[in-house]
């Protein structure tokens, strides 16, 4: 960076000399003005070359403090980043809530879509590492929500997982959820109008969302 700034300073100085010389030949400026012009641009070139080390310089009697301006800017940026992280933390706490109950019907917890969007924003703004525990807390709650939603379409899951602190592997859950006997029991309760095919389609969708949450949970565990 220092090298590039030095080159830029030299280029500006040389261009100013060439420009001033043409003005001098055209008698648009005097010799004294030419010297002043060259000196002014020489100073600018030096400031650019040593920008990282210059504390302050004066322009027409006004002192410009470069390092302090940069320090204030860095402080403001740090405060904005902190505020952004805390805002995400607050939104994650809201992501746990489910208006009107755990599920509005179907095999996908109603909070999953909003959480997925929020998580994408957290990653985009590079806040994931600062919020890893908060994110994982929400993921664990949503996995339980998914288990409940899936169990309403597959009877054998209700007694095994509902109300228990268990997070089965997606492969295991898939086998149990799509068990024919379990699905037929749900059909006998008139789930999806008793249509076994539709029940299984819904289960596949719910199981896919559970798998995504489970894999995210595993990823977050590695970051802790």
- Give the H or E element holding residue 40: helix 31-49
Lowest mean pLDDT among 20-24, 63-67, 134-138: 63-67
Residue scoring higher pLDDT (5 or 118): 118
Is 59 contained in some domain? no
| Number of domains the chain contains | 2
Residue scoring higher pLDDT (71 or 2): 71
- Whole-number Cα distances in Å, 175 to 11, 126, 150, 200: 71, 37, 12, 12
**At what angle are helices 112-124 and 196-223 packed, to 10 degrees?**
30
Q: Is the dihedral of CA 62, 63, 66, 69 positive or negative?
A: negative
Residue scoring higher pLDDT (19 or 197): 197
Tell whether 101 and 209 lie within a shared domain. yes
Is 155 contained in some domain? yes
Is 62 contained in some domain? no
Tell whether 49 and 87 lie within a shared domain. no
Tell whether 24 and 115 lie within a shared domain. no
CA distance 108 to 100: 15
pLDDT of residue 58: 47
pLDDT in tens, 170-224: 999 999 999 999 999 999 999 999 999 999 999 999 999 999 999 999 999 998 8
Tell whether 27 and 129 lie within a shared domain. no
**64 three-state secondary structure:** strand
Nearest residue to 107 via CA among 145, 141, 133, 74: 145
Is 163 contained in some domain? yes
CA distance 211 to 12: 59
Tell whether 50 and 84 lie within a shared domain. no
Tell whether 129 and 174 lie within a shared domain. yes
Tell whether 201 and 102 lie within a shared domain. yes
Is 72 contained in some domain? no
Structural domain containing residue 120:
80-223
Is 61 contained in some domain? no
Number of helices (H) and strands (E) in the chain: give both, helices first.
9, 2
Is 68 contained in some domain? no
Is 90 contained in some domain? yes
Tell whether 49 and 129 lie within a shared domain. no
Residue scoring higher pLDDT (71 or 25): 71
pLDDT in tens, 33-91: 655 565 666 556 555 555 554 444 444 444 445 455 566 667 777 878 888 899 999 99
Tell whether 194 and 115 lie within a shared domain. yes
């Amino acid at each position: 960076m220092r090298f590039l700034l030095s080159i830029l300073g030299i280029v500006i100085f040389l261009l100013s000399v060439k420009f001033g010389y043409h003005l001098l030949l055209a008698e648009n400026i005097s010799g004294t003005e030419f010297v002043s012009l060259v000196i002014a641009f020489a100073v600018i070139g030096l400031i650019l070359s040593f920008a990282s080390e210059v504390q302050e310089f004066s322009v027409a009697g006004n002192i410009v403090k470069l390092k302090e301006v940069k320090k204030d800017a860095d402080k403001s940026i740090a405060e904005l980043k902190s505020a952004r992280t805390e805002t995400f933390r607050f939104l994650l706490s809201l992501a746990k809530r489910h208006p009107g109950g755990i599920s509005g019907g179907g095999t996908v917890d109603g909070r999953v879509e909003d959480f997925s969007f929020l998580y994408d924003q957290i990653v985009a703004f590079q806040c994931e590492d600062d919020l890893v525990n908060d994110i994982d807390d929400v993921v664990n709650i949503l996995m339980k929500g998914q288990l409940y939603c899936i169990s309403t379409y597959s009877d054998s899951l209700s007694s095994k997982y509902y109300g228990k602190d268990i997070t089965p592997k997606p492969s295991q859950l898939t086998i149990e959820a799509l068990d024919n006997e379990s699905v037929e029991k749900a059909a006998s309760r008139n789930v999806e109008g008793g249509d076994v095919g539709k029940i299984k389609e819904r289960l596949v969708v719910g199981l896919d969302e559970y798998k995504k949450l489970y894999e995210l949970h595993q990823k977050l565990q590695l970051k802790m």
